Amino acid sequence: MTDPLLITFLAERDASCPRCHYSLRDLTTDRCPECGLELQLAVKSAKPLLGAWIAALLGTAIPGGFNITFCTFLLVSLLVDPRSFYWDQSMLATIIPGVVAALTLPALLIWRTAFLRCSIRRRWLIGSLSTGAQVAPLLWLFIFE
Ligand SMILES: [Zn+2]
């Protein structure tokens, strides 16, 4: 059902389709006539509110990239020459965060919208935990080993 407020809003304004940028002025349905995108009238924040998400993504991706690379190197060296493979328990400080990063990064990308719906406090908590899970084992490794 077409929202009469949407039709009234578009009758008075030069808004464009968010997907194809086609002019929606004087639109009579809730679909873009050019690309077929379903439209709705909404209230939106003036700020993008992406800070916590970007911090979580970068805080996980940068140290996580190191950890994932290290895990890949270990796996390849184990598969190529298992007899000369060297194992040390401290390697767990990069293996566990590497696996966590390999799971967390796609989750942050796939569930970005759900992440952004959380309260600001919860978003920064998730971002801090995600970053901390990558950085803390590395700090522990470099400081205490
Ligand atoms: Zn369109």
- pLDDT per residue, tens digit, the chain (145 aa), is 889 999 999 998 999 999 999 999 999 999 999 999 999 999 887 777 888 999 999 999 998 999 899 999 999 999 999 888 888 888 888 899 999 999 999 999 999 999 988 998 999 999 999 999 988 888 888 887 6
CA of 37 to the centre of ligand 1 (A): 6
CA of 22 to the centre of ligand 1 (A): 5
CA of 114 to the centre of ligand 1 (A): 25
Token pair, residue 107, equals: 């989750």
CA of 32 to the centre of ligand 1 (A): 5
Place of tokens 């949407």: 6
CA of 13 to the centre of ligand 1 (A): 16
Whole-angstrom Cα distance, residue 122 to residue 128? 10
pTM: 0.61
